[in-house]
A and B are shown apart, each in its own frame.
Chain A
Amino acid sequence: MNELVPTHETGPASLAEPIWKIRWKLTRRSLRQNWEIFKESRIGMLGIILIIAFGIFGAMWPIMINTVWDPMVYDPVVGFDPMMMHPSPPSGTHLLGTDPIGRDILAQLMHSTGREFLLGVLSALITVVIGTAVGTAAAYYGGLIDTFFMRIADIILLFPFIPLLVVVGAMVKLSFLPFAIIMGVLGGFGGITIILKAQALSVSVRPYIDAARVAGGSNFHIIVSHIIPNVLPLSFLYMMFSVTSAILSEATLSFFGVLNIDMSWGMMIHTADVAGYLFDFARYWWLWAPAGLAITLFCAAFYMVGRGLDEVVNPRLRKR
Chain B
Amino acid sequence: MSTSDGWLAAALVPLLALVPVLWRIAYGSPGDRLIGQNLTSLLAGLVLLLAAQGFHRTSYNDVALVVSVLGPTGTLIYARFLDVLPDSRLVRWTALVGVPATVLPLCVATGPGRAMAKLLLIGVLLIAGSVVTSGRGAREGVTA
- Whether chain B is bound by chain A comes out as no
A residues near B (Cβ < 8 Å) are: none
B residues near A (Cβ < 8 Å) are: none
